[in-house]
Amino acid sequence: MNIIKKEKTDLSFRIYYSKRNRFRDNQEYDYPSLCTIFENNYAAIKVFIINNRKPKNKYSLIVAGNTIFDNDTLNIKIPYSYGVDCYEKNANIFFRIKDAPNKEDLTVYFNKNKAKILKDFLIEHKKAEAEFEEIKKMTINNKEWEIIYLEEKKYYYENNVCRGTETQEYKEIIKKLKELN
């Protein structure tokens, strides 16, 4: 994730007709990242300066990123702010840090407070990573866990996939289960 996007919709009643009869008058903005705060196999978190809809403080310093963990996994709280005027379809971390009248103020603020941004979240995330690695070590070569996993996949193909028992994946699952039992 290197760029986040924002669509600016024209609220006037001008209508553009396309070949597919869609009505749209949008302009898309791409915001390159200011820097990367954190990146490893489990998360990627970057900082962006974006335009917002406020009359005085027209720019926002935001953090956007993705982590494999969610709010229910390992008791980690994902930072998320509503009302941010841009998006990234894969981001589950979306947090507004500060608003300012110009980009330079936000850049100065970021350079002074880089170590403080999402500090608590990053500590919790590293703990969650360590716990996840421990769980992986306990279950990676465990026959019982593999049987439970394959039984769950078997159930999924039998009950949730149309003609799931005829698929190649289902046949491979049955073959592996027979080998393990």
Half-sphere exposure of 106 toward its Cβ, with a 13 Å CA cutoff?
22
For the segment 124-146, what is each residue's pLDDT rounded down to a tens digit?
Answer: 899 989 998 998 888 888 888 88
- Phi, psi of 179, deg, nearest 5: -65, -40
CA distance 102 to 48: 13
Q: What is the pTM of this model?
A: 0.65
CA distance 15 to 124: 49
CA distance 112 to 120: 17
Residue 175: the pLDDT is 94
| Segment holding 110, helix H or strand E | helix 103-113
The closest of 26, 113, 135 to 61, measured between CA atoms, is 113
Provide mean pLDDT across the span 73-95. Answer: 70
For the segment 108-118, what is each residue's pLDDT rounded down to a tens digit?
Answer: 999 999 999 88
> Domain residue spans in the chain?
3-118, 143-180
Residue 94: the pLDDT is 82
